[in-house]
Amino acid sequence: MRIILLGPPGAGKGTQARRLVSKYGIVQLSTGDMLRAAVAASTPVGQRAKATLERGQLVPDQVVVDIIADRIDQPDAKAGFILDGFPRTVPQAQALERLLAERGLKLDAVIELKVDEGILLERITRRVADMAARGENLRSDDNPEVLKGRLAAYRAQTAPVVDHYAAKSMLKRVDGMAPVEAVTAAIDHILASSAGKRAKKPGKAAKAARAKPKRAKKAAAKPGARRGRSAASKARSKARRPVRARAKNKSGKRKSGTRRRLTKAR
């Protein structure tokens, strides 16, 4: 199963992705987590992305496309994956389509968690304040100012991705403001119905397998019938075929009861 979860920062994509991971035995591919890990490990990608992450802006498309291309080829992603935080721009969505097509893979669902941005901002501001009060570690981009920038980036660059999938009739929407359990249930419902549709829809191989016996049956119904012969070949065999001549009497009328004689056409 291959799923994309879309929604602004704080919409609950990470929480839902983790639930899907345990339910379907697939991996969560969060470009945000991978970039933060790269920053923490000070890899060349991490060093280049650090400042961009801290400003809450998007890193260049090619950086995340390369990360995803590499990640979906890993053995643990063979059974399926949930993309969380990717694609975030239309060129990323197009690059993903190419990556999947090259590997003969398809998406099962694109799900948008719809949220009210005003309430979201309040919710996150409260959560960050609570975490700070408890002395917990905060992400460097987990502060209301950066969050406003991340929401602006979402509106400008990621909202068109939602439209991109809606135009392809691939988008399903879920109320992300509902309680976590209700959001999970709505996602489960979408995935179950998409699995049901997949099971009903015959694949190319199944269609071909069904088509073959049909043709064979048609040919068998007409003994001697051969398919795919040229007009010239049909004319040659007709010329070679013995013609049934009708015995006629002097007046040119057919004699009744006379047996037909076979003569060669040539």
Catalytic residues: 13, 88, 127, 139, 150
The reply to whether 31 sits near ligand AMP by the rule CB under 6 A is yes
Report residue 95: phi and psi, to 5°.
Answer: -65, -40
One of 1, 27, 38, 59 touching ligand AMP (CB under 6 A): 59
Rg of the chain taking only CA atoms, in angstroms: 33
* CA-based nearest residue to 5, from 262, 91, 230, 21: 21
Which residue sits closest to ligand AMP, CB atoms considered?
32
Of 24 and 86, CB closest to ligand AMP: 86
The rounded distance, in Å, linking the Cα atoms of 114 and 68 is 24
And the tokens for 208? 């071909």
Specify the DSSP class assigned to residue 144: H
Indicate the residue type of 49.
A
Among 29, 58, 82, 110, contact with ligand AMP (rule: CB under 6 A): 58
Indicate whether 85 belongs to the interface with ligand AMP (CB under 6 A): yes
Q: Is 58 or 72 the residue whose CB approaches ligand AMP more closely?
A: 58
In 3D, which of 2, 15, 28 has the Cα closest to residue 182?
Answer: 15
Candidates 32, 39, 115, 184; binder of ligand AMP (CB under 6 A) is 32
- The span of 82-90, 97-105, 159-167, 213-221 binding ligand AMP (CB under 6 A) equals 82-90
Figure out which of the listed residues 46, 48, 52, 166 binds ligand AMP, where binding follows CB under 6 A.
Answer: 52
3-class SS of residue 243: strand
Q: Report the distance separating Cα 217 and Cα 11, nearest Å.
A: 57
Question: By CB under 6 A, which span of 29-37, 98-106, 180-188, 212-220 interacts with ligand AMP?
Answer: 29-37
User: Two tokens at 157?
Assistant: 């660059």
Binding residues for ligand AMP, rule CB under 6 A, total 17
Q: Any contact of residue 8 with ligand AMP (CB under 6 A)?
A: no
Report the distance separating Cα 50 and Cα 42, nearest Å: 9
The residue range among 50-58, 130-138, 193-201, 243-251 that interacts with ligand AMP, by the rule CB under 6 A, is 50-58
Residue 35 binding ligand AMP, by CB under 6 A: yes
Decide: residue 145, CB within 10 A, 0-12 exposed, 13-18 middle, 19+ buried: exposed
From the list 24, 29, 50, 88, which residue makes contact with ligand AMP (rule: CB under 6 A)?
88
Q: Which is nearer to ligand AMP, 31 or 184 (CB)?
A: 31
Dihedral (CA of 139, 145, 146, 151) sign:
positive
Residues at the interface with ligand AMP (CB under 6 A): 9, 31-32, 35, 52-53, 56-59, 64, 85-86, 88, 92, 141, 150
